[in-house]
Amino acid sequence: MVDDSPQQRAAPLDPEPKAKAKTKAKALAKKASLVHERRDRLINAAIQVFQEKGFHASTTRDIGRSAGMTQGTIYNYVSSKDEILYLVCDRLVAAYQEETQRALETVLDPMERVWSAARAVAEIMYDHQDEILLIYQNSYLLDRRSLQVILARVEGFVQVFEKLLLDAARETGVPLTNSRLAAHIFTFLPTMIALRRWGVGPIGREQTVSGIADFLTRGMGFEVRSVARPKVGQKAVEC
């Protein structure tokens, strides 16, 4: 005889905990998205304000006014003007790391990988000239810990390029006497787009970006056999 007493019957599963967990996850994702959007707005506003007034003369009130936020709201997302400067640096480093990785995903030929990576860095430098100028003028103001974090990320980026150049040199037989120096030249030279924009600007985006990619690739001893020059807004395509 089966005991069908209330004590022996299994209680039905309560769907409420799962529903609550799902709702909580959605709320956290929405909050993270909002934080990212607000910080981006602050960064863009700060770049404009810092350029107009200079870093020292700018205040969080100025940045908030430009971003359409109250001073109290700003402190929900950043703790100080210095942290906003750190976020500007961090966003730029992340951007050229992501763009370089994206440029390499579909290119297999070692020499074309070098060209594609050089072009990706040049594109980022061209499209973020204001941030680059701001960083070069004010990065010394970052506190020691923030500066170390930024420099560590830049060093990681340089190492990616060093490996890229070493791999290409090994596969093509091109001599590369100092891979570390080559990687620093490769990642630094495109900053001239921002630092010398008074002279480079009139040349135009496409000629500048492709010209730097060609110069760096061939200057390292590699030869890109045939790369179709893209229109503005498009990536290079192998012929």
**Do residues 237 and 228 lie in contact, with contact meaning Cβ atoms separated by under 8 Å?**
yes
Q: What is the dihedral of CA 146, 147, 152, 155, to 10 degrees?
A: 150
Task: Using DSSP, state whether 132 is helix, strand or coil.
Answer: helix
> CA 104, 126, 227: angle at the middle one, nearest 5?
40
Pick the CATH number of 81-238 from 3.40.50.720, 3.30.470.20, 1.10.357.10, 1.10.579.10: 1.10.357.10
pLDDT tens digits, 185-204:
999 999 999 999 899 989 99
- Bridge partners of 237, per DSSP, are 228
Q: Give, in words, the CATH class of 15-78.
A: mainly alpha
Band of residue 233 on the pLDDT scale cut at 50, 70, 90: very low
CA–CA distance, 78 with 41 (Å, rounded to integer): 12
The token duo for 203 is: 């040349």
Mean pLDDT taken over the chain: 80
Mean pLDDT within 68-89: 83
Using the 8-state DSSP alphabet, how is residue 106 labeled? T
pLDDT tens digits, 117-130:
999 989 989 998 88
Between 104 and 214, the higher pLDDT residue: 214
What contacts 206, CB < 8 A, 6 or more positions away? Answer: 229, 230, 231, 232
CA–CA distance, 25 with 206 (Å, rounded to integer): 44
Band of residue 151 on the pLDDT scale cut at 50, 70, 90: confident
Run of H or E including 227? strand 227-228
Domain map of the chain by residue range? 15-78, 81-238
> Would you say the pTM of this structure is higher than 0.85?
no
CA–CA distance, 219 with 239 (Å, rounded to integer): 22
